[in-house]
Every structure is written in structure tokens, then in C-alpha cells.
């Protein structure tokens, strides 16, 4: 891994597209989960340890547990403010938080995801290597929620 920029909290915006919308005209429940996974990889990639970089080394992150909160519907063409951060990273696991808000700041979706770091060849959890641990600056849940609302 290379020396990447420090990004404790990763933020970006996106416009909701037709592929995110279901037959009821709002974001599909599975699309919210997909957005969460894409955002996690974008954050890790910005730190030099996204899916492609880890896969080349024989590792991947897999979701072990996910706590999802659907707070407000969102619709085609609406812009979302996406924020994610990691609060725990030890052993073979991490805890990542994701908040997706409307342009007006209304919480649409929240996820707290426990990830397992896996050795692809053995299909077993593996302790996160020191260089990957060093890439992430941990932010507590309370600190992250306060910062992402600001």
C-alpha cells in the first residue's frame, strides 16, 4: 500500500438514477444496501485499500452483520449526501457507519455494518495487516454522527 491521504470521514454526493428506483417509485431496499457497499469501497479505495487492491493481495472484506434503518423515502433525480466512517478496526473485523441524507439534511437511510477481513484462498477470517490498519483513522459513532449532521 502507498501512503494515502487521511480521510477519517468520507463524504460525497450522488443523484439517484432509474436503477435505484423500484416499482413503487422510490429507492428500492436492496439499492440502499448497494449504495452502502459502494460507498464503503469508495472510502477504502481513496485510502489505497479498496476491493481491487485487497483482492490483488488475496483478501476481501465481507459483511458479517448489518443493522439497517430506513428513515425516509427518496426518489428519482433526488440528490443524496453520503457519509461513511469506521469506528472500530481490530483483529479480523471492523465496524463501519453509513448515513445517507437528502440535500435538505433529512436522514433517509442509516447502516451500521460489521465487516470481516477474509483470506480468499482459505475462506477464513484473517487479522487485518498493519498497513491496512494504519490507513484508517477511527471515529467514534457519537463523533461521526455529530460531524455528519453538521
Q: Retrieve residue 44's grid coordinates.
A: 477504502
Q: For the chain, give every domain's residue range.
A: 10-149
pLDDT higher than 90, residue 3: no
Q: Which fold has domain 10-149?
A: Thiol Ester Dehydrase; Chain A (3.10.129)
What distance in Å separates the CA atoms of residue 86 and residue 7, rounded to the nearest whole number?
10
Q: How confident is the model at residue 4 (pLDDT cuts 50, 70, 90)?
A: low
Per-residue pLDDT tens for 82-120?
Answer: 999 999 999 999 999 999 999 999 999 999 999 999 999
Q: Retrieve residue 105's grid coordinates.
A: 439534511
Which pLDDT score, from 0 to 100, does residue 89 have? 97
The pTM score is 0.94
Burial class (CB in 10 A: 0-12, 13-18, 19+), 133: middle
The mean pLDDT of 16-35, rounded to a whole number, is: 96
Which pLDDT score, from 0 to 100, does residue 133 have? 96
pLDDT higher than 90, residue 5: no
Q: How confident is the model at residue 150 (pLDDT cuts 50, 70, 90)?
A: confident
Cα–Cα distances in Å, from 136 out to 6, 46, 68, 76?
7, 11, 23, 33
pLDDT higher than 80, residue 71: yes
Amino acid at each position: 500500500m502507498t501512503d494515502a491521504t487521511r480521510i477519517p470521514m468520507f463524504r460525497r454526493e450522488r443523484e439517484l438514477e432509474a436503477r435505484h428506483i423500484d416499482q413503487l417509485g422510490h429507492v428500492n431496499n436492496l439499492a440502499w444496501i448497494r449504495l452502502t457497499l459502494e460507498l464503503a469501497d469508495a472510502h477504502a479505495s481513496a485510502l489505497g485499500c479498496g476491493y481491487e487492491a485487497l483482492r490483488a493481495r488475496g483478501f476481501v472484506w465481507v459483511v458479517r452483520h448489518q443493522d439497517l434503518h430506513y428513515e425516509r423515502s427518496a426518489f428519482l433525480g433526488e440528490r443524496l449526501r453520503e457519509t461513511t466512517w469506521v469506528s472500530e478496526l481490530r483483529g479480523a473485523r471492523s465496524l463501519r457507519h453509513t448515513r445517507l441524507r437528502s440535500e435538505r439534511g433529512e436522514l433517509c437511510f442509516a447502516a451500521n455494518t460489521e465487516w470481516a477481513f477474509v483470506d480468499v484462498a482459505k475462506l477464513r477470517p484473517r487479522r487485518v495487516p498493519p498497513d491496512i490498519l494504519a490507513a484508517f483513522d477511527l471515529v467514534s459513532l457519537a463523533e461521526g454522527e455529530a460531524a455528519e449532521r453538521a
